[in-house]
């Protein structure tokens, strides 16, 4: 299932003033030196799961001598993002050949059991964090130029010569992030699993807060609008770095498609460049992201400057993406709307719901700016789209929304129709409970979609059920060893990958960080859940 776009002679529209504002907001990254805490072995058990066992404490490293075929795995104790350095010293006779090393960096232990030669996915294998080095002059102080995302670092000696072995010293990682964990008050829940979920969420968010809100620090290492919206919400409840959100909003508005469409993702280095990928739902999410930013920061100047771009995304969809029935045109297998990675997921009804959902935020912004003409326009359009959604997608017999010519029933469609408030709260509650009972075959597979499922449950008044589901999903990820939350987690198929191979799956991914947002916004401040917190 390939999912990318490539436009020949891609033309962009640039607002240099916006890009200059974004450039001025670039953060200075904090740096900390992190050293490994132990050496480990990684083996595969009967269930084909990677098992980590301690091999030796770091105190034994000075006495270790590694020759041809030897390897050692360093455990840094937690997920790291940064730049690795070490010293390799020859021991024995004077070295008479270069040292030849292979380094592997792994976010999770299973990556160390995989061989890059076996990779056959559709994403570039250049994302796999594996390097080979020739050290011609020894001793050698090695400073790896590339930034890595990892917990485990494996050093394998491919060859030296029979006359010498290697001793490794001063192994460390210069960890980098735009924020500091100690600026956030811990959750202080009586339920330790909730504390762990919050801490892993915070670490996921912190690791992804670099020069921009990156989606994944191993892969793709860029700014995606769908991720930004969720990262920003988590950030408002925790680190409260408004400048980074503002920077990202100005980047998206500062360079768009020539027709004004906001791109799905943005490259921030070596220079600013919008990607030639357009996703309807991601472009629409610019409006909720801007609305959230204004309501949290009260930065009216930014709202006034970026409001036209937010409204333009809705206008473009209204003018170009609807048929005569006021229904979003189904573009089938084309990569035009994301929603989720679920195999075979039809996006038509979900896209209709996202359009309705974003209009509610557009109305809030228009009201803040006293733009009554826009308020009336958006309210009228929203009612038209809701009526069309019920007319074309609601299946009265099955009591669920369907999507596409095949009238597919999926979790994503139901969740987004609830978030769009197509029905009132009580009927939405009936729908989500019915969906859980039916358990449609087209399931949710990303924490991104699970976040919206939690949001739907909470908005239906099912906070207790949402908490149970959150613990079941993100809690299970922690029990499976997550130091940071993963890009993809399907409890029914834990080896699933949308890329053809899990070797390029991201195990620290921004859209997965939202339990900290949900717990702090909807539970810690809720009198009904006071007994959960100290």
- 472-504 pLDDT tens trace: 999 999 999 999 999 999 888 878 899 988 899
- Give the residue-averaged pLDDT of 293-319: 98
Taking phi first (over 0 means left), then psi (-120 to 50 degrees means alpha), and beta for anything else, what does residue 508 get?
Answer: beta
pLDDT of amino acid 3 = 63
List the single range of 37-51, 106-120, 225-239 with lowest mean pLDDT: 37-51
For 46-68, what is each residue's pLDDT tens digit? 877 889 998 999 999 999 999 99
Position 46 scores a pLDDT of 81
Using the predicted structure, report yes or no on whether residue 97 has a pLDDT greater than 80. yes
Q: Which two tokens stand for residue 115?
A: 């061989």
Q: What is the reported pLDDT for 382?
A: 98
Average per-residue pLDDT for the chain? 96
What pLDDT score was predicted for residue 157? 98
Of 50 and 39, which is predicted with more confidence?
Answer: 39
pLDDT band at 333 (very low <50, low <70, confident <90, very high): confident
Output the pLDDT for position 375.
98
3-state secondary structure of 333: coil
Q: Which two tokens stand for residue 75?
A: 């455990």
> What number is the average pLDDT over the span 299-307?
98
Question: pLDDT at position 380, please?
Answer: 98
Question: pLDDT tens digit string along 340-351?
Answer: 998 899 999 999
pLDDT tier, 8 (very low <50, low <70, confident <90, very high otherwise):
confident
Model confidence at 311: pLDDT above 60: yes
**Domain 36-177 - what CATH class?**
mainly beta
Host H or E run for residue 481: none
- Per the CB < 8 A criterion, the answer to whether 415 and 453 are in contact is yes
Peptide bond into 229 cis (omega under 30): no
pLDDT tens digits, 66-96: 999 999 999 999 999 999 999 999 999 999 9
What Rg, from alpha-carbon coordinates, does the chain have?
25
Q: Cα–Cα distance between 202 and 238 in angstroms, integer?
A: 8
Q: What mean pLDDT is predicted for residues 269-275?
A: 96
pLDDT at residue 160, as a whole number:
97
Q: Which helix (H) or strand (E) holds 178?
A: none
What pLDDT is stored for residue 412 in this prediction?
98
Q: Give per-residue pLDDT as tens, 178-211.
A: 999 999 999 999 999 999 999 999 999 999 999 9
pLDDT at residue 9, as a whole number: 87
pLDDT 10s digits, 384-433: 999 999 999 999 999 999 999 999 999 999 999 999 999 999 999 999 99
The verdict on pTM exceeding 0.85 is yes
CA angle, residues 125, 127, 128, in degrees to nearest 5: 75
Cβ atoms 471, 194 nearer than 8 A: yes
pLDDT band at 2 (very low <50, low <70, confident <90, very high): low
Euclidean distance between CA atoms 204 and 218, whole angstroms: 12
**Cβ-based neighbours of 47, under 8 Å, separated by 6 or more:** none
pLDDT of 534 strictly over 80: no
pLDDT exceeds 80 at position 286: yes
Residue burial 80-119, b: 16+ Cβ < 10 Å; e: rest: bbbbbebebbbeeeebeebbbbebbbbbbbbbbebeeeeb
Cα angle: 488, vertex 491, 496; to 5 degrees: 45
pLDDT band at 7 (very low <50, low <70, confident <90, very high): confident
Domain boundaries, the chain: 36-177
Average pLDDT rounded to a whole number, residues 250-273:
97
Structure tokens belonging to residue 327: 């229904």
Closest CA to 111 of 493, 505, 490, 503: 503
């Amino acid at each position: 299932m390939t999912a990318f776009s490539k436009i020949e002679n891609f033309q962009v529209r640039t607002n240099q003033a916006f890009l200059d504002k974004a450039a001025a907001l670039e953060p200075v990254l904090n740096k900390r030196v992190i050293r490994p805490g132990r050496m480990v072995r990684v083996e595969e058990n009967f269930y084909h799961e990677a098992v980590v066992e301690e091999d030796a404490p770091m105190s034994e490293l000075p006495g270790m001598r590694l020759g041809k075929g030897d390897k050692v795995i360093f455990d840094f104790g937690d997920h790291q993002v940064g730049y690795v350095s070490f010293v390799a010293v020859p021991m024995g006779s004077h070295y008479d050949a270069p040292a030849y090393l292979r380094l592997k960096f792994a976010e999770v232990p299973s990556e160390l059991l995989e061989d890059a030669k076996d990779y056959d996915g559709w994403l570039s294998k250049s994302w796999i964090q594996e390097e080979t080095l020739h050290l011609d002059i020894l001793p050698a102080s090695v400073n790896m130029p590339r930034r890595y995302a990892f917990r485990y670092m494996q050093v394998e000696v491919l060859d030296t010569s029979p006359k010498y072995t290697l001793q490794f010293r001063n192994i460390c990682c210069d960890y980098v992030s735009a924020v500091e964990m100690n600026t956030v008050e811990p959750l202080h829940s009586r339920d330790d699993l909730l504390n762990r979920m919050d801490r892993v969420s915070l670490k996921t968010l912190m690791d992804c807060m670099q020069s921009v809100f990156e989606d994944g620090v191993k892969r793709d290492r860029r700014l995606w609008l769908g991720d930004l919206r969720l990262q920003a919400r988590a950030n408002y409840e925790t680190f409260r770095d408004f400048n980074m959100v503002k920077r990202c909003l100005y980047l998206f508005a500062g360079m768009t498609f020539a027709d004004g469409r906001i791109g799905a993702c943005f490259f921030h280095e070596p220079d600013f460049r919008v990607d030639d990928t357009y996703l309807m739902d991601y472009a629409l999410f610019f409006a909720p992201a801007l609305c959230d930013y204004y309501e949290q920061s009260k930065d009216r100047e930014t709202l006034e400057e970026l409001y036209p771009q937010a409204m333009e995304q809705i206008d473009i969809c209204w003018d170009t993406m609807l048929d005569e029935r006021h229904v979003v045109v189904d573009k089938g297998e084309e990569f035009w709307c994301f929603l989720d990675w679920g195999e075979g997921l039809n996006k038509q009804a979900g896209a209709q719901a996202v359009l309705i959902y974003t209009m509610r935020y557009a109305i809030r912004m228009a009201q803040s700016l006293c733009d009554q003409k826009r308020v009336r326009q958006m309210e009228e359009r929203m009612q038209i789209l809701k009526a069309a959604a019920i007319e074309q997608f609601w299946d009265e017999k099955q009591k669920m929304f369907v999507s596409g010519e095949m009238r597919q029933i999926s979790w994503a469609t139901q969740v987004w129709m609830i978030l769009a408030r197509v029905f009132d709260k009580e009927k939405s509650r009936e729908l989500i409970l019915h969906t859980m009972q039916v358990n449609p075959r087209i399931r949710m597979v990303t924490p991104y979609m699970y976040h919206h499922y939690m949001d739907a449950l909470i908005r239906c008044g099912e906070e207790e059920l949402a908490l149970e589901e959150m613990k079941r999903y993100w809690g299970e990820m922690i029990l499976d060893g997550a130091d940071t939350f993963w890009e993809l987690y399907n409890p029914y198929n834990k080896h699933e990958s949308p890329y053809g191979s899990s070797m390029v799956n991201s195990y620290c991914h921004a859209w997965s960080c939202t339990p900290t947002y949900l717990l702090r916004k909807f539970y810690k401040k809720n009198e009904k859940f006071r007994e959960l917190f100290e």
